[in-house]
Structure 1
Amino acid sequence: MGNNILLIFGAVALFISSMLGLVYIPQMLADKEVNQVEYVAPNIENGHKIYVREGCVYCHTQQVRPKGFGADFERGWGEASLPEDYKGLTPHVLGTMRTGPDLANIGKRQPSRDWHYTHLYAPESVSPGSIMPPFPWLFEVVDEDEATSRKPINLPGEYAKEGKKVIPTEEAEHLVDYLLSLDQEREKE
Structure 2
Amino acid sequence: MNLFNDHKKLFWASSALFVLLMLFVAIMPAINNQLNNAPLPGSMLMTADEEAGKKIYISEGCVGCHSQQVRNVEMDKVWGSRPGIAADYAGMHRISFWQNTATLMGTERTGPDLTNIGQRQPSKEWHLLHLFNPRAVVAESIMPSYAWLFEDKDLADSLDVIITVPEKFKAGRKSVIVASQEALQLVAYLKSLSQVPLPDGTAKPEFLYQTSKKEGETAPAADNGPDGAALYASNCQSCHQPTGEGLKGAFPPLKGSEIVLNENPQDLVNIIMNGYDAREEYAVMPAVGKNNNLKPQEIAAIMNHERTSWGNNAKKVTAQEVEKFLAAIQKQNAVQ
TM-score, length-scaled by structure 1 = 0.77
2:79 paired with 1:79: no
C-alpha contact (below 8 Å) 1:79/1:185 kept by paired residues: no
Query: What per-residue deviation string (whole Å, max 9, x for no partner) do you get for residues 24-58 of structure 1?
Result: 8636743525378x843211111010001001111
Q: Residue type of the partner of 2:162?
A: P
| CA-atom RMSD in angstroms | 3.2
Q: How does 1:11-160 map to 2 (within 5 A)?
A: 18=21, 21-22=24-25, 26=29, 29-32=32-35, 34=37, 39-68=45-74, 71-73=75-77, 75-86=78-89, 87-88=92-93, 90-91=100-101, 92-143=103-154, 145-160=155-170
Q: Residue type of the partner of 2:93?
A: G
Q: State which structure, 1 or 2, has the greater radius of gyration over its C-alpha atoms.
A: 2
- Label 1:55 to 1:31 Cα distance change in 2 as closer, same or farther (>3 A): closer
Query: What per-residue deviation string (whole Å, max 9, x for no partner) do you get for residues 68-98 of structure 1?
Result: 4xx111x244321222323235402111111
- Label 1:163 to 1:27 Cα distance change in 2 as closer, same or farther (>3 A): closer
Q: CA deviation at 1:187?
A: 2.8
Q: CA deviation at 1:176?
A: 0.4
C-alpha contact (below 8 Å) 2:156/2:178 kept by paired residues: no
- Label 1:162 to 1:44 Cα distance change in 2 as closer, same or farther (>3 A): closer
Q: Residue type of the partner of 2:87?
A: E
C-alpha contact (below 8 Å) 1:59/1:99 kept by paired residues: yes
Q: Which structure 1 segments of 5+ residues have no match?
A: 5-10
TM-score, length-scaled by structure 2 = 0.46
- Label 1:162 to 1:175 Cα distance change in 2 as closer, same or farther (>3 A): closer
- Label 1:81 to 1:166 Cα distance change in 2 as closer, same or farther (>3 A): same
Query: What per-residue deviation string (whole Å, max 9, x for no partner) do you get for residues 84-118 of structure 1?
Result: 32323540211111110001111111001111000
- Label 1:17 to 1:150 Cα distance change in 2 as closer, same or farther (>3 A): closer
2:173 paired with 1:168: no
Runs of 4+ in 1 over 6 A off after TM superposition: none
128-137 or 38-47: which moved more? 38-47
Tell which has more relative contact order, 1 or 2 (C-alpha 8 A, sep 6+). Answer: 1
C-alpha contact (below 8 Å) 1:123/1:134 kept by paired residues: yes
Q: Residue type of the partner of 1:151?
A: V
* Distance in 2 between residues matched to 1:182 and 1:134, nearest whole Å: 21
Aligned length: 177
C-alpha contact (below 8 Å) 1:77/1:102 kept by paired residues: no
Q: CA deviation at 1:149?
A: 2.1
